[in-house]
Amino acid sequence: MAHHSSFESLAIYKEATLFSDAILEIICNTSLNKDYKLREQINGSSGSIMDNIAEGFGRGGNKEFIMFLSYSRGSCSESKSQLLRCFRRNHIDESTFNKLNNDAENLINQLSKFINYLKSSERKGSKFD
């Protein structure tokens, strides 16, 4: 894997950003906008996915990065649960739910692969270079 100079260049960060943007789209354009508690929860958890990738990258060490990627994976699972609540409360239709749920599952899988890659890497992180 190439060395990256910024978190913005990471494919996983770009995917997390697209997911967060898709969540914002349903917040702005559905009845979820009026379900204040759930709206804030899903906005927070979807944003946390990308934020934890950025924070972990910024720490400069693989051990810390792995920890923050794990937090991102947890936030992604949290978003999946909240998406199910959105669907059950009729804020989103089944096709929107299925698409976003699949996107979240893909993110979880990508995060897991990235974590496994970092665990097996001999490089300890940029702060050790």
List, in order of start, the domains of the chain with CATH numbers.
Answer: 9-121 (1.20.1440.60)
Q: Over 70: is that where the pLDDT of 52 sits?
A: yes
- Residue 49 CB neighbours (<10 A): 30
pLDDT digits (tens, 9 = 90+) for 7-43: 999 999 999 999 999 999 999 999 999 999 999 999 9
State pTM to two decimals: 0.91
Rama region for 60: left / alpha / beta (φ>0; ψ in -120 to 50; rest): left
What's the confidence (pLDDT) of residue 60? 87
Question: If you search the block for the tokens 């991102």, which residue do you land on?
Answer: 72
Q: Using a pLDDT cut of 90, give the percent of the chain over it.
A: 85
pLDDT digits (tens, 9 = 90+) for 71-91: 999 999 999 999 999 999 999
